[in-house]
Structure 1
Amino acid sequence: MNQVFFTHKWFSFRPLKLLSLFFASYFTILVIGGWSIPVFSQNTSEIRAVWLTTSDTDTIFDRPKMKEAIANLASMNFNTIYPVVWNSGYALYPSPVAQRAGIQPFVHRGFQGQEPLAELVQEAHRHRLLVLPWFEFGFMAPPTSELALNHPHWLTQAQDGSQTTSSAAGEVVWLNPFHPEVQKLITDLVMEVMNRYDIDGIQFDDHLALPVALGYDTYTRNLYRQETNENPPTDFRDAAWVRWRADKITNFVEQLNRQIKARKPNAIFSVSPNPYSTAYNSFLQDWLDWVRKDLINELVVQVYRADSSAFLREITTPEIREARQKIPVGIGILTGLGNRIKPIEFIREKALAARRERLGIAFFFYGSMWNRTPELKAERKSHFRALFPRQSHRTATNINPLPRHGI
């Protein structure tokens, strides 16, 4: 195994030589099988993660498949797993909180009678992988879900009264993120998982948000009038109206952070949003403000771009570079959806580009990494194995705890 450092032949006098050695100690390149693979220092908290979903896979609920998945990821030097626990308006674990909201248990036992999340956490920790349960749907829900049907006053709407929007999950409605009962539900679900399982943190994604066209329900209109003495603007992209709603979501993130840190100060609060411009302007998600206010511990930006130049532009934005100075930052890379599996060269190119920018990686999702792929399974797995030639374990205890905000 050859190791090539970032040094230059004209760095001959001592100060510059020492400087080059400093950088080499932080960031090196391994040449393996013709690949130039960036390698982080052992002292960094590099994100090497995978989402475990219930879409097109039963890995979470089938004990042998779950154990095989954990063993595979550990052998490839991954260090973090995001297993889904909140999807389609249902909790994917035994949840008294969901039942009190009139939501019947969707899945509460695995195929072998086990409690899936409990066993997954135990198995992952045995292999030294972090587990951050993923609240995938956030404020989003299917319109036919018990959640939406039993609590219509929790839903928000557009100016014309319509409630549904289109998403990758089909037609969905949105819980009003400003409504105290909605905030309590989400907070209680998070704290239920925090209290029940020995997890390392939690994750939300681009659904801890609200589409910019929404927010014209009666509750929000009244709240806006109460605070501003004005009616909400008819232009849903009005800058002040966008700012007011985005700040309300930020306030909720701050409250949720307080609850999490009061329970477990070293827990990792992870968020996986869209790139900043889309996140803020289209979904009222000001994640850069969350970073600046120390409200999150980890950022994984979903950059699902087919074009390489567009991908590179998105991973080198000032917002990502600023966030990287404070917390571990990773890039979400799409490995495939359903039968639309991405070629391994597509995945490898983007993974190496992210690592060259000293950014971590999270693959979406485990079921499309090497199953049902055009290439041979062994070939795909060999490429993922080569991506991380060295171990890089993370622990929740070596993530700096956030300020307790007076708690």
Structure 2
Amino acid sequence: MIRFFTGLLTGLLSVLLLGQPLLAQTPPIAPSTRNALPRRAIAPPTVVPTTIDRPNNRPSNQTKLAAPERRGVWLTNIDSDVLFKAAPLKAAIDTLADLNFNTLYPVVWNFGYTFYPSVVAQRATGFRQAPGLDRDMLAELIPQAHAKKLLVIPWFEFGFMAPETSDLALNHPDWLTNTRSGETVWLEGGEPRVWLNPFLPEVQDFITDLVMETVAGYDIDGIQFDDHFGLPNTFGYDDTTIALYRQEHAGNVPPSNPENPEWIQWRADKITDFTTRLVRAIKAQKPKVIFSLSPNPYDFAYQSSLQDWRTWQQKGLLDELIIQVYVSSLDSFQSHLRRPEVQAAARQIPVSIGVLSGLRGKKVPFDRIQRQVHAVRQAGLSGVSFFFYETLWNVAHESKRDRQAAFRHLFPSPSIGIRSTIAQ
């Protein structure tokens, strides 16, 4: 999934990898990473806040109202069978509801495949959904979750990214962007990935159609992208993007330095333009569907991934922001919560924090989770979401019984009315 910070020691960030998937019979999956490598800071652009036009003169969701605490969890296809078998899925929903969670983020787009039947994906990949799947996971999950008053916000994890050997990449090599040296492969935790060109109309249409198919076809409460809904700053040197840049720069080619501030801003602005069109399409179809984003902290998101989420929030594009803060140091964790762009966003929209509950190869003690949740509450933010389901209590230092009892103490009462705030 998401690239992430796992701790700060003398200013350095460590990179953690998940292990091999638990189930060989599940769809094509591989070790997931949430890694982030620090780079030299690049000053973000100065933005004049604007808001998108909303259908039927509906007000923007930019005035933050009192709302229940967000208590979310990401349901993955990595190191977990929760989405791929009916019994584990039902058990997870029942347990999460019983422990007063209120939001599920099930992965639906990963490794170049969907985890629900998709006509759009079939046109692009030849597969209606990920190989090995024979049921509509979303159609099964949504009514069960809603019956327990849980929000369901499908998570398009891979965004513009795909494995190098995926059917999507092999079928559409013309959709890929590249570095200045012509390289299309980007390593994420040692795994070869490629990037769909976010500046290409065909790619924008594909992502839009994929999202709109889900919005129109299911009773979802929102959709979510994460840090992969951007582009590593070394990419964008493909012929199409260069031609577009030259058209807007009197024939001049892009700077050779991928971290050139103007070149960073130009590409980030193009991704912002596409995000604006996508959000407008979603709101025209279902105005109350949440557009959720789970990015890295802003400086890294902007300078390294061309993801200018501060501007997206200021333009009224985001209904929910869940910032990944996967650090072990409490001081470092709290410093991220105090960032001015975080506090500014929290005055306008619900801002929650992504908390690492563990990885298969890195168990996180519950006392750290508890301290971080308390820090979020003390900072006045909207809530938390945990990465990922299995490490809440199935993969942990403590016993499953003790871990669930600790979560019950952390969330002693339901967060009432969570679905009524956005009912269609």
With the length of structure 1 as denominator, give the TM-score of the two structures: 0.85
> Does 2:138 correspond to 1:88?
no
Shift of 1:337: 1.6
1:368/1:169 CA distance change after superposition, 3 Å: farther
Give the corresponding residue for 2:218: 197
Match of 1:224 in 2: 245
**Residue 271 to residue 385, structure 1, CA distance change in 2 (3 Å):** same
Partner of 1:23: none
CA distance in 2, matches of 1:396, 1:231: 50
The one of 383, 404, 409 aligned to 1:381: 404
- Structure 2 vs 1, CA of residues 162 and 345 (structure 1 numbering), >3 Å: closer, same or farther? same
**Could you tell me how far 1:108 is from its partner in structure 2?**
7.6
**1:281 CA drift (Å):** 0.8
Question: What is the aligned partner in structure 2 of residue 9 from structure 1?
Answer: none
1:208 to 229, 241, 253: 229
Gaps of 5+ in 1: 1-41, 402-407
Name the aligned partner's letter for residue 315 of structure 2.
Answer: K
Which whole-Å CA distance do the structure 1 matches of 2:107 and 2:187 have between them? 21
Classify the secondary structure of the residue corresponding to 1:81.
strand
- 1:273 corresponds, among 271, 289, 295, to 295
- Aligned CA-pair RMSD: 1.8
From the superposition, tell whether residues 399 and 316 of structure 1 become closer, same or farther in structure 2 (CA, over 3 Å): farther
Correspondence 1:118-197 to 2 at 5 A:
118-168=139-189, 170-197=191-218
Q: Report what 1:304 is aligned to.
A: 326
Counterpart mapping for 1:215-294 below 5 A: 215-229=236-250, 230-294=252-316
Kept in 1, the 8 Å contact 2:121–2:129? The answer is: no
Partner of 2:13 in structure 1?
Answer: none
| Alignment-mate amino acid for residue 243 of structure 1 | Q
**Matched positions, count:** 358
1:144 counterpart SS class: coil
Decide whether the 8 Å contact of 1:156 with 1:214 is kept in 2.
Answer: yes
Q: Secondary structure of 1:208's partner? A: coil
Find the aligned partners of 2:86 and 2:197 in 1 and give their Cα distance: 37
CA distance in 2, matches of 1:226, 1:98: 32
Structure 2, unpaired ranges of 5+: 1-64
* Cα contact 1:303–1:331 (8 A) shared by 2: yes
Identify which of structures 1 and 2 has the higher relative contact order when contacts are C-alpha pairs closer than 8 Å and 6+ apart: 2
Q: Secondary structure at the match of 1:207?
A: coil
> Contact (CA 8 Å) 1:94, 1:108: kept in 2 or not?
no
> For 1:134, what is the secondary structure of its paired residue?
coil
Amino acid at match of 1:322: A
- The structure 1 residue matched to 2:124, chosen from 86, 94, 101, is 101
Shift of 1:102: 2.8
Deviation readout 1:115-169 (Å, 9 max, x if unpaired):
2111100100000111000000000000000111111111111111111222248
Letter in 1 for 2:328: A
**Taking structure 1 as reference, are residues 352 and 176 closer, same or farther at Cα in structure 2, changes over 3 Å only?**
same
Which residue of 1 is the match for residue 337 of structure 2?
A: 315
Question: What residue number does 2:365 align with?
Answer: 343
After TM superposition, where is structure 1 displaced by more than 4 Å over at least 4 residues in a row?
394-397
